[in-house]
Amino acid sequence: MKTGIYPGTFDPITHGHTDIITRSLRMFDRVVVAVAPNPSKHPLFNVTERVEMVRLVMKDLPQIEVTQFEGLLVDYVERSGANAIIRGLRAISDFEHEFQMALINRKLAKTVETVFLMPSEEYSYLSSTIIKEVARHGGALTEFLHPEVARRLNDRIRSLKS
């Protein structure tokens, strides 16, 4: 069974993320969405909340497993028995960072490959950071997020303002 690990912060999970996840099922029998705590990014949602939202969005796909992990990604990938790391590339600006990460991961774990997927055109500009900014300014989120994720993001933004 071919297993891919799709790591990220997912603060919150967007349609861009779900696009990469569902399209990766063309290459992998099982995809593990691995949510990282990543406190350096100052997430709006704690890791438990983010795992819960990813599970909610992906609930109809039994080939998707959602977990959280800490530490080196390659260690987690090897422990999981996965074949590859899945990463999305939106633009050239993503490439340099992702390329460096893929090379260091290969150096740390020679058997771990990285697979890059470009998002579908309609999601090529999406990032959780941009979506949070739209939410902070009261913009519509329905084109970018699952309705329940949009509700939770709006609730969180409101609670921070009060």
Verify whether residue 128 is a known catalytic residue. yes
- pLDDT-derived band at 12 (thresholds 50, 70, 90) equals very high
Catalytic option among 15, 24, 50, 128: 128
pLDDT tens for 67-102 read: 999 999 999 999 999 989 999 998 777 888 899 999
Catalytic option among 41, 79, 136, 158: 41
Verify whether residue 127 is a known catalytic residue. no
Q: Which fold has domain 3-124?
A: Rossmann fold (3.40.50)
Average pLDDT score over residue span 33-60: 95
Question: Omega into 7 within 30° of 0, i.e. cis?
Answer: no
**Distance between CA atoms of residues 114 and 26, nearest Å:** 16
pLDDT tens for 112-158 read: 999 999 999 998 888 999 999 999 999 999 999 999 999 999 999 99
Verify whether residue 2 is a known catalytic residue. no
In 7-141, where does DSSP find H-type helix?
Answer: 15-24, 47-58, 73-80, 92-108, 128-136
Angle at alpha carbon of residue 60, lines to 28 and 41, rounded to 5°: 75
Q: What is the amino acid identity at position 149?
A: V
Segments making up each domain of the chain, as ranges: 3-124
Verify whether residue 90 is a known catalytic residue. yes
Catalytic option among 15, 17, 30, 50: 17
